[in-house]
Amino acid sequence: MSFNTFGRVFRFTTWGESHGPAIGAVVDGCPPGLALTEADIQPFLDKRKPGTSKFTTQRREPDEVRILSGVFEGKTTGTPISLMIENQDQRSKDYSEVAKAYRPGHADYAYDAKYGFRDYRGGGRSSARETASRVAAGAVARLVIPDVDIFAYVSEIGGDAIDPARFDAGEIGNNPFFCPDAEAALRWEKLLDDARRDGSSLGAVVECIASGVPAGWGAPLYAKLDSELAAAMMSINAVKGVEIGDGFAAARLRGEENADPMRPGENGPAFLANHAGGIAGGISTGQPVKVRVAFKPTSSILIPVETVTRTGEASDIITKGRHDPCVGIRGVPVVEAMMALVLADQKLLDRAQCGRDRLA
């Protein structure tokens, strides 16, 4: 079974393969009357676009989005918004090796086991190319939550973390790694150059913060805000871990250390700490929502790995082609998009039942 739709009332469905004619998303449940043109979406796609530095895949895709429905005279109509991105640089390379043998760490064997068959060109549906559709949909989601500010950055590559003392959000755009620590960025350049030279790859940790989320979003018990975020982030290619707030570190604190004390504030309580990452009982508290996401190293490497063929013979495989040496880097806009998509959905869900915004 496939399920290519995400969300409860603000929903999106993605379609498309890495080397098909196009990819896209249908966004359904978007409120009417929001100003929307391609220009509102394109900057987010450009941020994710391949080929922008030597540290990302050299595939050349303009990733230009077209809006095919759901917008009239520059405004959303409340009907489905169809977004399409044509694939242009599907290189007509020889995929016979990938067709024959399973690349370890890739979905090759699992797709064959499930579907009996797979589109092996560039990973087909399991390719990270699909995340462009999420980024496009995420740009629409941001319009639904205009008071929320979302940004993500890479906090760690290959085990080398940023120094929180040097955190500077202004630096994120100054280097090809979305790194908020200028010194770490310099080190990572060397790390990644070395990895690329070795034909290897590195993992990364991405952190995402959403400010301006009011208290009250989240749909307990089985659509809790943190549960939805965990599902959203874990659905991204190469992600192996998700933390809310302090995450695993919270498991090492004592109760009194992990508490987020409150003092009277202007609009509800003022919190003195945010170990919880802005979520309690699955509902936002009004503090910044914080998520950390672990990306494994890119599975496509030039170092031979033992594998088997479709017909069950032993083989060694190296994955030539155009790959990101650290797939986590381009994960940054994808993580941001998933955050926006979850929050937009939760905002509308909350309005459905609680209508708290009417009470303001």
Q: Which span (35-43, 49-57, 175-183, 309-317) binds a second copy, by CB under 8 A?
A: 309-317
CA–CA dist 31, 357 (Å, integer): 15
Shorter beta-carbon distance to a second copy: residue 125 or 170: 125
331 in a labelled binding site: no
Please identify which residue in the block is written with the tokens 């498309």.
Answer: 16
238 in a labelled binding site: yes
Q: Which span (35-43, 45-53, 112-120, 167-175) binds a second copy, by CB under 8 A?
A: 112-120
> Looking at 163, 168, 183, 313, which residue binds a second copy (CB under 8 A)?
313
77 in a labelled binding site: no
237 in a labelled binding site: yes
CA–CA dist 90, 78 (Å, integer): 34
> Looking at 74, 146, 164, 264, which residue binds a second copy (CB under 8 A)?
264
Residues 13-32 binding a second copy (CB under 8 A) are 13-17, 20-24, 26, 28-32
Residue 288, C-beta contacts closer than 8 angstroms, at least 6 positions apart: 209, 210, 211, 213, 274, 277, 278
Q: Helix, strand or coil for residue 16?
A: strand
Instruction: Kindly state the smallest distance separating residue 170's Cβ from a second copy, in Å.
Output: 25
Q: Is 35 in the site for a second copy (CB under 8 A)?
A: no
Shorter beta-carbon distance to a second copy: residue 172 or 204: 204
Q: Is 4 in the site for a second copy (CB under 8 A)?
A: yes
> Looking at 171, 298, 336, 340, which residue binds a second copy (CB under 8 A)?
298
CA–CA dist 51, 239 (Å, integer): 22
- Letters for 43-82 (x = contact with a second copy by CB under 8 A, - = none) are -----------------------x-xxx-x--x-xxxxxx
Residue 153, C-beta contacts closer than 8 angstroms, at least 6 positions apart: 169, 172, 178, 179, 180, 206, 207, 332
Pick the closest to residue 332 from 135, 142, 64 (CA basis): 135
Handedness of CA 247, 172, 67, 17 (dihedral sign): negative
Contact 163, 184 (CB under 8 A): yes
Other CB atoms within a 10 A radius of the CB of residue 142 amount to 21
Pick the closest to residue 41 from 29, 54, 24 (CA basis): 24
Q: Is 42 in the site for a second copy (CB under 8 A)?
A: no
> Looking at 55, 61, 65, 119, which residue binds a second copy (CB under 8 A)?
119
Q: Is 299 in the site for a second copy (CB under 8 A)?
A: yes
Residues 193-232 binding a second copy (CB under 8 A) are 195, 200-205, 214-224, 226-232
Q: Is 185 in the site for a second copy (CB under 8 A)?
A: no
Single-letter amino acid code for the residue at 150: I
Give the tokens for residue 52: 């922008």
Q: Which span (35-43, 45-53, 171-179, 301-309) binds a second copy, by CB under 8 A?
A: 301-309
71-72 and 149-157 beta bridge pairing? unpaired
Instruction: Kindly state the smallest distance separating residue 87's Cβ from a second copy, in Å.
Output: 10
Contact 192, 147 (CB under 8 A): no
Residues marked as binding?
A: 48, 54, 125-127, 237-238, 281, 296-300, 322
